Amino acid sequence: MKSNNTPKNTHHNKHALAHQTPSHASTSKHTNKLLQVGAMSALLSVSCIAAQNTSAAVADETSSPSSAINHTNQQSQPSIHTNENAPSSNNASASTHHNSAQATTSIGENTPSTLQTNEQNDATAMPFMILARSIDANATHNLDRSSADDGWGTNKQAWLVEPNILEFQRYRAVNSNGSIMSPGADGVGDWNTTTKKSDMYAHIKTENNGDRYLVFDVFFNNDAKSMLNNSALQQYTWQIPWAVADLNYGAYKGDTLRNLSIEAYVSNADTASNAVLSRDFERFSRDNTNSKTGINPLSNDQEFGGTTYKYDLGARVKASREEDLRTLFHKNAGDGVLRNATELPEPYRNYSYGIGVRTTAVDRAFHLHCEVKLRKDATIADIQDAYTWANTSSFGKTTNSAYTFVSGREKGGSENNLPRVISDKEAPKLYFNGKELTDTQTIDVYQGDKLSLKFGASDNSGSITNLHVSGLPQNKGIDDKTKHAASKEKPYTTSLNDVEFSNKNGNSPNEKVYNVVVSATDASGNKTEKTIRYNLKNLNHKYAEPTGSKLTVPWGHTFTDDEILKK
């Protein structure tokens, strides 16, 4: 193995043969002096961490049937590594890690769970699931409506302002009935369906010392709607872009991940049914109970409210790979893009890079924020090619829902032609009746008026992904979620004909104000929203009231038609 501690991005179109993912670790937090664990029995779980001036060895027989950790050469940063089954004395040394940063665990396939999680209430526990306590699904949630802007303001969040560097995007979806959404002829998949559940943004931040961090904002259950029928848990997983992260032969360094927060949000009562947290942030309120900032990314099973943070949610590469893929993606486990995105070549195959939560707060949208330190030599092309993915799924063997946002691609072959999602800071422009809609417009209309209204949008990227119009009489509107070509030279337009403005209180005409909201979104998540205010007035405002005029004639004079008409 070369001494270079920052291997290049490598992808393989083959199934990995050995690996990983832990489920639970019992760890002593000390530093410096290192202890290497040798032989272990097949049913014994041992977790060791270096200790300052004292050696510490902890045997935890209650939390896991089999776990192992070895550390060499570095301080107490845990490095996640697991074996499929408990290692024997012959292979214990194979789990040695450099610069260990995560507590290492290994757990058997039939480990009992503290929660019954499947929609059909089957008693079989999911692989590598151990929770310290049952989570109360009926816990009181603390909602904070004052902090919904998260310091960024209510109109433009940071992830929508910065260009999204994740340009090779693909989307995969399976609904609660197990129906797989077709990826289409181009293999990209359905953006709208997937991003209602999973959405992801990233940009580069450079420190004064030259260190670069990839700043991620990842969204799970984006529309804050439960996917469950009978089961208790949903699972949200983000795989970090290991191929460009600053690692030590695959192991986390102390500053590989930082500023990790996971926050839950509930949709406000007046929130539109198609609103999502990532693009309609101001329409949600923070659920403090199921939120946590300042999370130590290398500390497993941190609980807050009905939510448990876990660092071991990635797909293993040994015999349990197929089971892990089914756990994550359900009926999409055989999808070629997802299999490539979860493949881990050497030296990464012995580690887990999937972090996230399991939660009973299934009617909440979640926002994960984290910064990943980049390798010194990582280029923009490396970053855009590197696999990272976000997955919102139901948790249980008999459940089906899984919505996956994948960024990255295989180098060479047909994926060289994968279309880019060009990200930018510029939001779409809106048009109304052939003119650009720049500010709130006020238009007077009268009872019984029937109008033809033409709406449109354009974007500098050349396309829009959503055009929405609401607030018109008789609930007329537009909810077009199809991607359309929409350039400045040739905006996308659509019309609503015979829109009648009429409002009565019983049989009496009643004046009213209609606030018509027009919005458009581009593929980078940039959104423009404007309001057209229609003031519906009664007809007496349209036609002047008749007034009388004097006509002076002699006594006994008979009026002629001409005299009256002239007047």
| Same domain (yes/no): 398, 454 | no
| Same domain (yes/no): 189, 254 | yes
Task: Give the pLDDT confidence of 381-415 residue by residue, as tens digits.
Answer: 999 999 999 999 999 888 999 999 999 999 887 89
Quote the CA–CA distance of 248 and 49 in Å, as a whole number: 18
Predicted local distance difference test score (pLDDT) of residue 551: 74
Predicted local distance difference test score (pLDDT) of residue 453: 96
Tokens encoding 522 = 């581009």
Q: Would residue 566 count as lying in a domain?
A: no
Per-residue pLDDT at 328 exceeds 90: yes
Per-residue pLDDT at 94 exceeds 60: no
Here the CATH number for the domain that contains residue 481 is 2.60.40.10
The model's pTM is 0.57
| Same domain (yes/no): 231, 272 | yes
Burial grade of 206 (CB within 10 A; 0-12, 13-18, 19 or more): exposed
Predicted local distance difference test score (pLDDT) of residue 154: 38
Helix, strand, coil abundance in the chain, percent, nearest 5? 10, 35, 55
Per-residue pLDDT at 28 exceeds 80: no
Residues 227-241 as b or e (16 or more Cβ within 10 Å = b): bbeebbbbbbbbbbb
Q: Examine the fold and report which residue of 60, 83, 110 is the final residue of a domain before the chain moves on.
A: 110
Quote the CA–CA distance of 421 and 335 in Å, as a whole number: 21
Q: Would residue 8 count as lying in a domain?
A: no
Give me the domain span that covers residue 455.
Answer: 429-541
Q: Examine the fold and report which residue of 373, 394, 417 is the final residue of a domain before the chain moves on.
A: 417
| Same domain (yes/no): 461, 526 | yes
| Same domain (yes/no): 356, 467 | no
Indicate the pLDDT class of residue 460, thresholds 50, 70 and 90.
confident
Per-residue pLDDT at 333 exceeds 50: yes
Q: What percent of the chain has pLDDT over 70?
A: 71
Are 409 and 432 a contacting pair, CB within 8 Å? no
| Same domain (yes/no): 299, 444 | no
Per-residue pLDDT at 65 exceeds 90: no
Of the ranges 43-52, 324-333, 363-372, which one carries the lowest mean pLDDT score?
43-52
What average pLDDT does the segment 351-359 reach? 96
Please give the tally of structural domains in the chain: 3
Of the ranges 255-264, 291-300, 402-411, 534-543, which one carries the lowest mean pLDDT score?
534-543
Predicted local distance difference test score (pLDDT) of residue 319: 67
**Closest by alpha carbon to 398, among 120, 81, 24?**
120
3-state secondary structure 115-144: CCCCCCCCCCCCCCCCCCCCCCCCCCCCEE
Q: Would residue 256 count as lying in a domain?
A: yes
Predicted local distance difference test score (pLDDT) of residue 213: 97
Looking at per-residue confidence, does 319 or 73 come out higher? 319
DSSP letter at 485?
E
| Same domain (yes/no): 307, 356 | yes
Per-residue pLDDT at 135 exceeds 50: no
Q: Would residue 334 count as lying in a domain?
A: yes
Count of Cβ atoms closer than 10 Å to residue 410 Cβ: 20
Task: Give the pLDDT confidence of 238-284 residue by residue, as tens digits.
Answer: 999 999 999 999 999 999 999 999 999 999 987 778 899 999 999 99
| Same domain (yes/no): 447, 393 | no
Predicted local distance difference test score (pLDDT) of residue 511: 92
Average pLDDT over the chain reads 76
Per-residue pLDDT at 192 exceeds 70: yes
Indicate the pLDDT class of residue 156, thresholds 50, 70 and 90.
low
Tokens encoding 350 = 């012995």
Q: Would residue 234 count as lying in a domain?
A: yes
Per-residue pLDDT at 183 exceeds 70: yes
Q: Are strands 504-505 and 402-407 parallel, antiparallel or unpaired?
A: unpaired
Q: How far is CA 157 from CA 279, 526, 538, in A?
A: 8, 10, 42
Predicted local distance difference test score (pLDDT) of residue 394: 97
Indicate the pLDDT class of residue 556, thresholds 50, 70 and 90.
confident
Quote the CA–CA distance of 228 and 158 in Å, as a whole number: 31
Q: Would residue 363 count as lying in a domain?
A: yes
Q: Examine the fold and report which residue of 374, 396, 417 is the final residue of a domain before the chain moves on.
A: 417
Q: Would residue 69 count as lying in a domain?
A: yes
| Same domain (yes/no): 361, 468 | no
Per-residue pLDDT at 30 exceeds 50: no
Looking at per-residue confidence, does 195 or 120 come out higher? 195
Count of Cβ atoms closer than 10 Å to residue 65 Cβ: 19
| Same domain (yes/no): 320, 239 | yes
Per-residue pLDDT at 330 exceeds 80: yes
What average pLDDT does the segment 2-27 reach? 36
Q: Would residue 238 count as lying in a domain?
A: yes
**Closest by alpha carbon to 195, among 485, 407, 357?**
407
| Same domain (yes/no): 275, 338 | yes
Of the ranges 66-75, 232-241, 360-369, 427-436, which one carries the lowest mean pLDDT score?
66-75
| Same domain (yes/no): 437, 407 | no
Per-residue pLDDT at 87 exceeds 70: no
